[in-house]
Structure 1
Amino acid sequence: MTRAIIAGVDGSAPSLQAVRWAAEEAVIRGAPLRLVHATSRWTYDVPLIPQPPSWTVDAEAAVGEMLRQAAQEARAGRPKLEVTTEILDGGAQDALVAAAEGAELIVVGSRGRGGFAELLLGSVSRHVAARSPCPVAVIRRSPAGDRGEIAVGIAEGRGQERLLDFSFREAALRRATLRAVHAWVHPATRAPGDMQPLVYDVEGIGQEEARLLAEAVAGWREKFPDVTVSEQVVHEHAAKALVEASREVDLVIVGAHGGILDLGGTVHAVLHHASAAVIVVRP
């Protein structure tokens, strides 16, 4: 059975954009769509500071109506899409991470109802992207149209098998061109103790980086012969290169290489500034 696509719903405009994006992704994958809303259903008369919002019949009806409207939005124009809704108990951050266990993909809006409007990335989105056991899609705005291309950021070194596998499969499902983006700033050290040169040949290093990128995707080209791949090597910071690429593609896929609570500087910057949807894949 195909694993579900999960979308977090809180009634905000970004979450409804996430629902629409998740619905399209579910159709592409032939997967069911599960819409979830997390809340602490506090029913006890115990004085706490701060006092949690009480869970009443009216509150449950309001959440049920919000999920119903989100499901209606997801089904619009997609009559065969299987959509279910569920209320999760607990705080949104931990509840969504727990719900992601066993899912194909979890989709969240860039911001929810809480926080400040000027923040580009909400705390819930950031937490889910850093902790989720499955890939996380963060949606900021409605897509500008189907450009038929997605971008993936390829870093130096190993441990990117899951990122490349997900990216090639996504490109195959969308019948999209996959742009493999590799950015470099200084010559990479190849072994412990290596020293970076004070002066180096930019053109020569660029050719070496291009060779390494070609080697990284070569096996995946053979595995997915129907996927058209373009390779882009740029001499600039990876975050800047991916944000620039996001203006020209439908989707940017990045690998999180930090610790369990750390997305890494590049991923954090891309989530804040990308113009397209971003999917974060943990190793």
Structure 2
Amino acid sequence: MTEPVVAGVDGSEASLDATAWAATAAALRRAPLRLVHVTLRWAYDVPLVPQPAHWGPASQAACRELLARAVERARAEAPSTEITTEVLDGAAAEAIAAAAGTAQLVVVGGRGRGGFTGLLLGSVSRDLAVRCPCPLVVVRPREEGGGEVVVGATGEPGQEHILRFAFEEALLRRLPLRAVHAWTHPVAAFPGDMQPLVYDVEGVGREEERLLAESLAGWRERFPDVPLVEQVVHGHPAGVLAEASATAELVVVGAPGRAALLGSTVHSLLGHARGPVAVVPRPPGHRPPGTAPPA
């Protein structure tokens, strides 16, 4: 069975936009769509005083209603896609991350409301960006129509999984792919390498272009139907990618390397993007280049 696309639903307009985006993604992949709502349920046979009112007939009815609205929105985008719904129990990020274990893609809105434990950057979106086992898409309203897929490329080894996802997404959507490499300082040749305070911007820019070209070598042959544009920009990656997101169908970046800390570039991009952003995790067992295997 094809792995599903999972969308988080909380009844807000942002989550309905995410549902529509997820429905289109599922249709492109010919995959089922699974709509999930997360809430906290209390066992009524546990003697608690006062009795919590988080779960009961009214809450069940509200869950069914918001999921029904989400199904209606999804059907409008993908009428032939198989759609299922489910209510999950627990903390939102943990419950969705668990559901993502059998998914090929998870989609959430960029904003939410309290019924979904406040789908705000710094809570659910932030937590999912570091713990989701499959690619996560955070949907934010686009200011203009999307005409390309953009991928944030470092020009360094170890980005194969990010580039593969970006190329595949561009192929599915029949859009060109723009590989953007933003830099602010020369790349260190080795750990501890001291970089000059003053350097030739044009000269370093040419070197960065060479690194990007090398990192993309072979991808044109693997995906001949995807037009590829390489772009090197002297600027902060988060700002450059946020600007690119205004006219992109999707911006693709890699997940932060440390499970306990959301990387500054990803954090800033999710907070300031003007369109959907995909955060792609490292495959199981993947190690950054130059690191030793665990003892």
TM-score by length of 2: 0.89
Structure-2 residue corresponding to 1:107: 107
1:197 is the counterpart of 2:200 = no
Deviation readout 1:57-108 (Å, 9 max, x if unpaired): 2221221121112111100153211111011121212101100112110000
Greater alpha carbon shift after TM alignment, 16-25 vs 70-79: 70-79
Output the CA distance in 1 between the equivalents of 2:87 and 2:150: 34
Deviation readout 1:4-62 (Å, 9 max, x if unpaired): 10000010111111101111111111111000011122123546699754421222122
- In structure 1, give the amino acid aligned to 2:128: V
Output the CA distance in 1 between the equivalents of 2:204 and 2:83: 50
Output the CA distance in 1 between the equivalents of 2:23 and 2:13: 15
The alignment yields a C-alpha RMSD, in angstroms, of: 2.1
Output the CA distance in 1 between the equivalents of 2:141 and 2:225: 30
Structure-1 residue corresponding to 2:245: 246
Output the CA distance in 2 between the equivalents of 1:85 and 1:259: 32
Output the CA distance in 1 between the equivalents of 2:229 and 2:32: 32
**Stretches (4+) displaced over 3 A:** 45-54
- In structure 2, give the amino acid aligned to 1:141: P
Greater alpha carbon shift after TM alignment, 257-266 vs 91-100: 257-266
**What secondary structure, in the 3-state scheme, does the structure 1 residue paired with 2:11 have?**
coil
Q: What are the within-5 Å matches in structure 2 for residues 108-187 of structure 1?
A: 108-114=108-114, 121=121, 123-141=123-141, 144-145=144-145, 147-187=146-186
- In structure 2, give the amino acid aligned to 1:26: A
Structure-1 residue corresponding to 2:287: none
Output the CA distance in 2 between the equivalents of 1:136 and 1:53: 32
- In structure 2, give the amino acid aligned to 1:264: G
Contact 1:15 1:108 in 2 (8 A): yes
Structure-2 residue corresponding to 1:255: 254
- In structure 2, give the amino acid aligned to 1:269: S
Structure-2 residue corresponding to 1:4: 4
**What secondary structure, in the 3-state scheme, does the structure 2 residue paired with 1:200 have?**
coil
Structure-1 residue corresponding to 2:286: none
**What secondary structure, in the 3-state scheme, does the structure 2 residue paired with 1:247 have?**
helix
Flag the 1:124–1:227 CA change in 2: closer, same or farther, 3 A: same
Output the CA distance in 1 between the equivalents of 2:163 and 2:260: 22
Output the CA distance in 1 between the equivalents of 2:143 and 2:82: 23
Question: Is there any run of 5+ residues in structure 2 with no aligned partner, and where?
Answer: 283-295
Q: Give the percent of matched residue pairs that are identical in Structure 1 and Structure 2.
A: 59
Q: What are the within-5 Å matches in structure 2 for residues 72-83 of structure 1?
A: 72-83=72-83
TM-score by length of 1: 0.92
What is the Cα deviation at residue 219 of structure 1? Answer: 1.7
**What secondary structure, in the 3-state scheme, does the structure 1 residue paired with 2:265 have?**
helix
Question: Is there any run of 5+ residues in structure 1 with no aligned partner, and where?
Answer: none
Structure-2 residue corresponding to 1:60: 60
Contact 1:148 1:175 in 2 (8 A): no
1:17 is the counterpart of 2:7 = no
Contact 2:129 2:262 in 1 (8 A): yes
